[in-house]
Homo-oligomer: A and B are copies of this chain.
Amino acid sequence: MPVTTISPDPEDLTARARIRDAAMLHFGEHGFERTTIREIAATAGVSSGLVRHHFGSKQELREACDAHLVKMVRRLNDQVRADATYSDVNYVAAARAATRPYQQYMARAMAEGSAEPLFDEMVRLTEEWLAEADRNRPDPPDVDLRTRATVSTAMALSVMVLHRHMSRVVGVDLLSPEGDQLLSRALIDIYSHPLMSLEDAALVRAALDKVQHTPPPPSFEEDPDE
């Protein structure tokens, strides 16, 4: 399996890299605000001062993590694309499997509004993908490619961002290998079946056209007991 390589012993990494990895671990697990520089330093096996020495501030450390994430995902994407053993049909699953080590951090970053370049790039890739899908489509799209790609990207990412809720409901850790199997199958099943018929879609569109010219959205009554 050409893309597979042993990740180096943490002992072999430079302190800077260890700090970054520790930061991604903690940021991914507890979020940016709830993790302290001291915790990161502790799991990296260095002093807290060194964190500042290498990254300047907590915010800059986060940006370094984001940059590293983008770099890694870009590299993995290239690797998977270049690898002939992955047909383009199971490309999605391969890409998801590839980004597994960074999923936790990626999910947090996305949820917290960080990692903008990564989101943008994913939209770009989805655009290419959708543009191709549009060619063997009977009816013309109702909205522009960019918007549809954005929504599709968000949907794909949602399973990462909300994996805690999902795991709780399903009863399986979706970030584990078994959970990933289950999730992949569910995604395939959903992706290959429209949730709405074309007729219903037309009906809703018509309803939308009507609503568009009516007064602003409804507000609602508050609690009586307050």
| B216–A177 touching, CB < 8 Å | yes
| B76–A220 touching, CB < 8 Å | yes
Judge whether A222 is part of the interface by a CB distance below 8 angstroms: yes
Q: How many copies does the complex hold?
A: 2
Residue in chain B with minimal CB distance to A203 = B89
| Interface residue ranges, A against B (CB under 8 Å) | 1, 3-8, 13-14, 16-17, 31, 33-34, 68, 71-72, 75-76, 79, 87, 89-90, 93, 97-98, 100-101, 110-113, 116, 119-120, 123, 133, 137, 141-143, 146-148, 150-152, 154-155, 157-159, 161-162, 164-166, 168-170, 177, 180-198, 200-201, 203-205, 207-208, 212, 216-223, 226
With contacts A97-B217, A158-B161, A212-B181 known, is A17 near B200, CB below 8 A? no
Q: Which residues of B contact A219 (CB under 8 A)?
A: 4-7, 101
Q: Which residues of B contact A93 (CB under 8 A)?
A: 204, 207-208
| B201–A197 touching, CB < 8 Å | no
A87 to B187: give the CA distance in the assembly, Å.
28
| A154–B158 touching, CB < 8 Å | yes
Q: Which residues of B contact A220 (CB under 8 A)?
A: 3-5, 7, 72, 75-76, 79, 98, 101
Interface pairs A-B: 3 shortest CB-CB: A158-B158, A33-B33, A192-B201
Q: Which residues of B contact A142 (CB under 8 A)?
A: 185-186, 188-189
Residue in chain B with minimal CB distance to A14 = B226
